[in-house]
Amino acid sequence: DLAGRPRGTGFVADDRGTVVTSHEAVDGLSRVVLHALGERTFLAEADDITSLPGLGLALVRTDGLGVRPLPIAVREDGAE
């Protein structure tokens, strides 16, 4: 927010540095500052942000954040 308080959290989803966060965290913003461990930051402008309000999510493209993506698994319906 304008006072510098965090508006949300997210995670890196791929090797290109795409961050998945909530739509609410970026809604109405022209840019966002992402903070990662080790005091790394990235300024994302509006064209780096893809809002998906119907899903309640947003994707933020980063370059140089230097964070490894979380492993993600896809499971078919009925699989255990």
The whole-model pTM stands at 0.80
- What residues form DSSP beta bridges with 11? 20
pLDDT at 58: 97
Q: Is residue 74 part of a domain?
A: no
Q: Is residue 48 part of a domain?
A: yes
Q: Is residue 19 part of a domain?
A: yes
pLDDT at 39: 82
> At residue 20, what are phi and psi to the nearest 5 degrees?
-100, 130
Number of domains in the chain: 1
pLDDT at 46: 93
- Alpha-carbon torsion 80, 76, 52, 43, what sign? positive
3-state secondary structure of 46: helix
Question: What is the number of H-type helices and E-type strands within the chain?
Answer: 1, 6
pLDDT at 80: 60
Going by C-alpha positions, the residue among 44, 55, 61 that lies closest to residue 7 is 44
Mean pLDDT, contiguous 10-residue spans, the chain (80 residues):
78 91 94 86 92 96 83 73
Give the domain range for residue 51.
10-60
